[in-house]
């Protein structure tokens, strides 16, 4: 190639890259401006993966919107985004031969369990894809939950122990929605218990062994250690600080805390076709075991939908005072992460769709 022509081509693509980056930053800045029109919003962290490139953007603060002290070390609650880590661990254990997605739930229940006939068709894949027919929660009514002997108003979900889950499961007399998509935190709590039983490890150790260590993640925790407490973006609901969520034996439903950069690294590993060590696990984790309508297609812990001709995977989450969403297109190796320490999951979901739609059309 002619050297002068080569330089012109290089300059052209460099200009295009700069222009694209500028447009991307302008879009993100405009979304953050809209976000902080609500005076109760405190902090917003946005991450973007495009092939090997990872970019993070921060607005607001850990404690006050005016502090602007968020960084790659800042730790947010992931809420139900935790579930895609849980199904990744399910896939890792399956790859090691410790269990199968086709295993029956009843095979992991105590021998004395009295209600196995009602639950006889449920598999681990059913639990992981919200198609088990098990109700969304282990209680019918919040008022009834408050009447439980171990209920703690300051830590209400700490009663979600294995014993509590099994007791409530035993009381089910039918599964009217088996096989149909019906979101179930109750089901994911049971899946967490099963993963711990099959591996002999608690959930925090499972996350460390299969996620943190292989990916060299520095800011992903079930319980944030003492020396990192200062990095927590404190969750807020209507400006009031609220406690970090605690979920007893149901941690796989929503107990993880992480940074935007760590989440990007996790998503990058899932959609990297050259990541040989993790590729088999990723293929299992991203499989779609059940066919359904495009708008409600289900993966293991993931929702699936199309943006134009591109298939994207998504998961959102929320706690008392935090919001999260991840969206990725594995085929194009593009991911978007939004985390906030404000109770605003619905708002950031629309932002994430706007960002990934723009990236897919570039």
Total number of domains constituting the chain: 1
> What is the reported pLDDT for 12?
34
For residue range 28-77, what is the model confidence (pLDDT) as tens digits?
Answer: 999 999 999 999 999 999 999 999 999 999 999 999 999 999 999 999 99
| Strand 334-340 relative to strand 43-50, pairing | antiparallel
Burial class (CB in 10 A: 0-12, 13-18, 19+), 22: exposed
Q: In this structure, what CATH number is given to the domain that contains residue 168?
A: 3.40.710.10
Q: How many helices (H) and strands (E) does the chain have?
A: 11, 11
User: Could you tell me if residue 253 is inside a domain?
Assistant: yes
User: Could you tell me if residue 6 is inside a domain?
Assistant: no
Nearest C-alpha neighbor of 122 from the set 186, 203, 202:
186
How far is residue 327 from each of residues 45, 79, 264, 283, 335, measured CA to CA in Å? 14, 15, 10, 17, 6
What range does the domain containing 91 cover? 43-360
User: Could you tell me if residue 15 is inside a domain?
Assistant: no
Tell whether pTM > 0.75.
yes
User: Could you tell me if residue 206 is inside a domain?
Assistant: yes
User: Could you tell me if residue 282 is inside a domain?
Assistant: yes
**What does the alpha-carbon distance between residue 198 and residue 175 come to, in Å, rounded to a whole number?**
25
User: Could you tell me if residue 120 is inside a domain?
Assistant: yes
Residues 6+ apart with CB under 8 A from 274: none
User: Could you tell me if residue 23 is inside a domain?
Assistant: no
> What is the reported pLDDT for 154?
67
> What is the reported pLDDT for 97?
96
Residues of the chain with pLDDT under 70: 1-20, 154, 276-277, 288-297
User: Could you tell me if residue 19 is inside a domain?
Assistant: no
Asked if 311 contacts 241 with a C-beta cutoff of 8 angstroms, the reply is no
């Amino acid at each position: 190639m002619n050297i002068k022509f080569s330089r012109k081509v290089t300059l052209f693509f460099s200009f295009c890259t700069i222009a694209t980056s500028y447009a991307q930053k302008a879009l993100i800045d405009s979304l953050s401006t809209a976000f902080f029109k609500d005076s109760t919003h405190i902090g917003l962290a946005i991450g973007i993966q495009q092939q090997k490139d990872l970019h993070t953007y921060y607005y607001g603060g850990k404690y006050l919107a005016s502090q602007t002290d968020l960084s790659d070390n800042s730790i947010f609650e992931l809420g139900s985004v935790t579930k895609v880590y849980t199904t990744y661990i399910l896939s890792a254990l399956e790859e090691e031969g410790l269990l199968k997605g086709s295993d029956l739930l009843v095979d992991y229940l105590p021998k004395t369990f009295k209600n196995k006939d009602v639950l006889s068709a449920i598999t681990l894949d059913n639990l992981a894809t919200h198609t088990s027919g098990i109700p969304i929660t282990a209680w019918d009514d919040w008022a009834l939950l408050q009447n439980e002997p171990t209920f703690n108003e300051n830590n209400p979900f700490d009663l979600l122990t294995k014993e509590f889950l099994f007791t409530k499961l035993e009381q089910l007399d039918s599964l009217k929605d088996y096989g149909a998509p019906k979101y179930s935190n109750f089901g994911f709590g049971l899946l967490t218990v099963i993963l711990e039983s099959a591996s002999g490890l608690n959930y925090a150790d499972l996350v460390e062994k299969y996620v943190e260590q292989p990916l060299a993640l520095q800011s992903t925790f079930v319980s944030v250690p003492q020396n990192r407490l200062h990095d927590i973006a404190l969750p807020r609901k209507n400006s009031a600080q609220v406690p970090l969520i605690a979920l007893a034996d149901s941690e796989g439903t929503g107990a993880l805390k992480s940074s935007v950069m760590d989440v990007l690294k996790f998503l990058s590993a899932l959609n990297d076709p050259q990541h040989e060590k993790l590729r088999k696990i990723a293929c299992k984790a991203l499989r779609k075991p059940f066919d359904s309508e495009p708008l409600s297609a289900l993966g293991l812990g993931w929702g699936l939908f199309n943006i134009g001709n591109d298939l994207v995977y998504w998961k959102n989450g929320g706690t008392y005072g935090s919001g999260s969403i991840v969206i990725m297109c594995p085929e194009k190796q593009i991911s978007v992460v939004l985390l906030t320490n404000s109770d605003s999951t619905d708002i950031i979901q629309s932002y994430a769709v706007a960002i990934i739609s723009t990236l897919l059309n570039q």
